[in-house]
Structure 1
């Protein structure tokens, strides 16, 4: 008779599902299967976390390398900028020297023309005075001094 009861219990569960399809199943192995699914899900999540951590470590390393390249680039730009500033200072100084030399040359030319004009006008005293001034200006230039403005 026990043999008859077991099939009836199975039929009864099947009948319950036919009558009420949303009724819970009476399956003994379900909790074991559910635990395995939970373990698999936990392992999957742990793997995802590890992969995410590895990806983040890699990204952080790449970002660090990028920041180092940026720092190096800024250092190079700063060095080039300082070189350009130095070059600019030396060019400014050279320009000032050229301007001073040009002014000195203009003074000498003016004195020479004044000497010629004085000789042409037979004003030898003025020509001698201007010649002396020209010699003094040339001596100052040779000594490295600034040429004075002669009026």
Structure 2
């Protein structure tokens, strides 16, 4: 498609994540970049009662992007493994990441950008999709809170 330069008030460069200093100082097993090492159960090999996911964790069995989407999907796995640990059992649930994840970013001008593997799109329809997904996600957890 056609490419163009658009005027901007500000340009933000996102260069990835960095592990916080406290992680390396915590005594937990960490990778070379200082992220908490975890197995497929998201359990620390050095401290089996510690679980981590998302931007602070690094899988020992595979490379995984430091992305919030992985923290979201690993959450139920960690919850199941904590229940197993509390019952005196070994964690059994494993997080199996998808090959591609959908990333949606509101651009603040009535549209959004979508990225899924090698595909990308932009427009108002992407923002409507983002809002629909966000509302469904929040409604799911609001229903859980009412049950508690």
TM-score (norm: length of structure 2): 0.21
> Quick one: higher RCO (CA 8 Å, sep 6+), 1 or 2?
2
Tell me which structure has the larger Cα radius of gyration: 1
Higher strand share: 2
TM-score (norm: length of structure 1): 0.21
